[in-house]
Amino acid sequence: MKKTVGILSLLLILINVVSAGKEMTLEGTYQGENLYVQNPFASSGVGFCVTNVMINGQQSIDEINSSAFEIDFSSYQLIKGAPVKVKIEYKDDCTPRVLNPDVLKPSSTFVIAGMNITPDGLLTFSTTNESGKLPFVIEQKRWNKWMKVATVNGKGLVEKNDYSIQLKPHSGRNVYRIKQVDYTRKPRYSQEKKLIRSSVKEVFIANANLLKIEGVVNFADESGNEVSTLYEVYNTTGVIVRKGFGAKVNLSDLKRGDYFVMYDNKMGQIKKI
CATH code of residue 211: 2.60.40.3080
Task: Please tell me whether residues 186 and 210 are part of one structural domain.
Answer: no
Instruction: Tell me the residue range of the domain where 259 lies.
Output: 204-272
Which residue, of 104, 127, 148, is where some domain finishes? Answer: 104
- Determine the Cα–Cα distance for residues 213 and 210; give it in Å rounded to an integer: 6
Mean pLDDT of 137-158: 95
Task: Please tell me whether residues 118 and 182 are part of one structural domain.
Answer: yes
Task: Please tell me whether residues 210 and 167 are part of one structural domain.
Answer: no
pLDDT band for position 68 (50/70/90)?
very high
Task: Please tell me whether residues 174 and 213 are part of one structural domain.
Answer: no
- Determine the Cα–Cα distance for residues 156 and 80; give it in Å rounded to an integer: 9
Task: Please tell me whether residues 94 and 19 are part of one structural domain.
Answer: yes
- What pLDDT sits at residue 13? 33
Task: Please tell me whether residues 87 and 19 are part of one structural domain.
Answer: yes
Task: Please tell me whether residues 63 and 115 are part of one structural domain.
Answer: no
- What pLDDT sits at residue 226? 96
pLDDT at 2 over 50: no
Query: Is beta strand 58-59 parallel, antiparallel or unpaired with respect to 50-55?
Result: antiparallel
Spell out the alpha helix ranges (H) of the chain.
Answer: 2-20
- Enter the DSSP assignment of 101: G
Task: Please tell me whether residues 8 and 70 are part of one structural domain.
Answer: yes
> What is the domain-level CATH number for residue 121?
2.60.40.10
Task: Please tell me whether residues 220 and 171 are part of one structural domain.
Answer: no
CA angle 17, 20, 21 (to 5 degrees): 100
Q: Which residues pair with 235 in a beta bridge?
A: 259
CB atoms within 10 A of CB 90: 23
Mean of the per-residue pLDDT values for the chain? 90
pLDDT at 17 over 90: no
Task: Please tell me whether residues 100 and 28 are part of one structural domain.
Answer: yes
- Determine the Cα–Cα distance for residues 270 and 273; give it in Å rounded to an integer: 10
Phi and psi at residue 136, to the nearest 5°: -100, 130
Which pTM value belongs to this model?
0.79
Which residue, of 70, 104, 138, is where some domain finishes? Answer: 104
Instruction: Count structural domains, the chain.
Output: 3
- Determine the Cα–Cα distance for residues 127 and 113; give it in Å rounded to an integer: 5
37 versus 131: which is more confidently predicted? 37
pLDDT at 14 over 90: no
Mean pLDDT of 155-180: 96
pLDDT at 20 over 70: no
As a whole-number percent, the residues of the chain with pLDDT over 70 amount to 93
- What pLDDT sits at residue 5? 40
pLDDT at 133 over 80: yes
Decide: helix, strand or coil at residue 168. Answer: coil
pLDDT band for position 11 (50/70/90)?
very low
pLDDT at 19 over 90: no
- Spell 130-159 as b/e; 16+ CB within 10 A means b: bbbebebbbbbbbbeeeeebbebebbbbee
pLDDT band for position 240 (50/70/90)?
very high
Task: Please tell me whether residues 95 and 136 are part of one structural domain.
Answer: no
- What pLDDT sits at residue 45? 76
Task: Please tell me whether residues 241 and 225 are part of one structural domain.
Answer: yes
Which residue, of 104, 139, 174, is where some domain finishes? Answer: 104
